[in-house]
Chain A
Amino acid sequence: MSAALGRLRMDGGWRDRLVRASEAHRSITILVVMSLVSSLLVVFPNFNVLQGPSGWYDAFANAGVFVLLAMGLNVVVGLAGLLDLGYAAFFAIGSYAYAYSNSPFSGLDLPFIPMLVIGAGIAALFGIALGAPTLRLRGDYLAIMTLGFGEIVPIVFLNLDKWTEGTNGIGGLYRPEALPILGEFTPISPFPYMIVSLIVVTLAMILLYRLHDSRIGRAWMAIREDELAAAANGINTVVTKLLAFALGATTSGFAGVFNASKLTIVSPDQFLFTVSFTVLAMVIIGGMGNIWGVAAGAFIVYMIQAVFLKQINTVVENLGLPAFDLGPIHVDLLQINFLNYQFLLYGFALVLMMLYRPEGLFPSRERRAELHADEEAGEGAEVVGAMGGVPGENVE
């Protein structure tokens, strides 16, 4: 079987050649694919399906935020294998950075594009500050640490009300200044937001793929596979993990600045655990470790959650089905708010996913190999599989 797989990779047909060409010219491939996707996203809403174009553009712009978040978390969880449950904290820090730089509250009005970079940089600093003391921890312990950090940050923003206006949050943020060609950023026409979001996502994807293909990306994957073996092969595990953490935070900070500039308000309740959890679910559903897979997964999950579930309500209302009784149960579809069921849906999706497709919708090659070892592996598989816990070797 392994020999067959090898042959398949070596001398496959046009499909294989296409894959190889795209791997050799990643940045160009991403640019081509993203411009195709962009033109689709620009044209499609004009058909007025379910909602008008500005509704769609708005949803796409918001989806871009979650795509960014998911790609950033993918570096931490999918590539380096560090479970981060407090990812929303860096999102919050990026958002508040923009709020301080562009609001009546602080009296500052700094330009938008540089603030994207500065906000991301501030989030990165916090990522390092959290990572440096904690990255010696592993597995569950690290997850609990990050969970704690994710809880602390919104609470700090909540309780420092002299500086952050507490529960009310900082409102009335200035929108970004008009850009050439795109025009004004206004709540009525979210088109420029969508374009900026697409550009940022494309840029982030190119940069993340470059890291993924470099020695740094290999080091992350090596740490995920076997941390001790990685150290024994000359990888400074602490620095490498710290870099993954900082880059995840940077991406999150980007998303935060963009999101704050779009919502024009930041408040602590935007950054609760549900955000961290949603993004983690997106990463898992998309296919941990695979950058474009995670981006696609995040987009799909966001669209289901924010557009289609909302539309189910409208559709059901329009159908106007009469209420009926099923034995003792009274069923009235009009009374059900399907939006309330999004977490039930997540739950179902995750359970089904773990049962039937644990590697996600669009898994990376490594991941698929790992989770389908019994079907694909050759003679060597049992040996590597069995050597998991060796006493003495695992101590560090």
Chain B
Amino acid sequence: MKRILILIIVASMLLVFVGCADDNTPADDGSGVQEVGEIILTGSSTLAPVVTQLIAEFMETNVTWDKVDSTFPAEEINIVINGGGSGAGISSSIEKTANFGMASKNVSEEEQAKFEGYSQYKLGTDALTIAVNPSNKIYESQDGFTSEELQKIFSGEYLYWDDVNSELPHSEIVVVTRDIGGGAHEVFQKKIMGEIEVSLNVIQAPSMGALVAKIIDNENAIGYASFGVVNQNEAKIIPMSVDGVDPTQENIISGDYKISRPLLVLKNGEMSPQEKALLDFLISDRGMQVVSELGFVPEN
């Protein structure tokens, strides 16, 4: 009896597997129109939430491609978004394993040369603001930091707050950074630190949210918080100016505020009509609205 039961269970499991295999075969409805297939976007985890939200809207409102444009085939829209970081975004568009790459940093000329036909579309700008806890009285003594002060704080040369400004208490500076490989740290390293290494004895937060949570929680903390996240936590953390320039929307757009990075969508070679339609939606007014809703500075 037991054996028969096992046999039935195993047989039904096999059937499930067979059923799965069936699902994967593409539906052939006999129409002669060229198939669109899957569109893949790979890259920056900063840009991914923006694109994910927009594409969810795109797929919900249109469902099939012929609703986007009547000349397109009546095929279900199938768009996949992968993270992996800006590096993966650039390499996957060079290798054409993704239809679009997403990068939250400038693509170097060396990398651009590897593309067959390089084109980039800027959705907006993200800035990193140097933020401190509201209980830290540094913003009463000084408006902001100079690049040199930041270098000394992040490299571990200044260990206590009174090293920075003698009016402050003798308490240890708690430096919070993101992981060294990520886009945020790369921008900070390039724009502020230059050749100087960031100290190893700093907290590396696993996400931007964790970084900001630490600054909200610890009165001795300092870190580079994403512009968008600072806006969401107004009064809980204090953004400071850098070299006399405040991190405001105008200064970020004009480029006066220096710790900023572009949010780019990359394309290698010619676009298919469907890809063009998708990109047009990303850089549409609605696209810009989502960019600013998620706290970034929209391009238009």
Chains A and B belong together in one complex: no
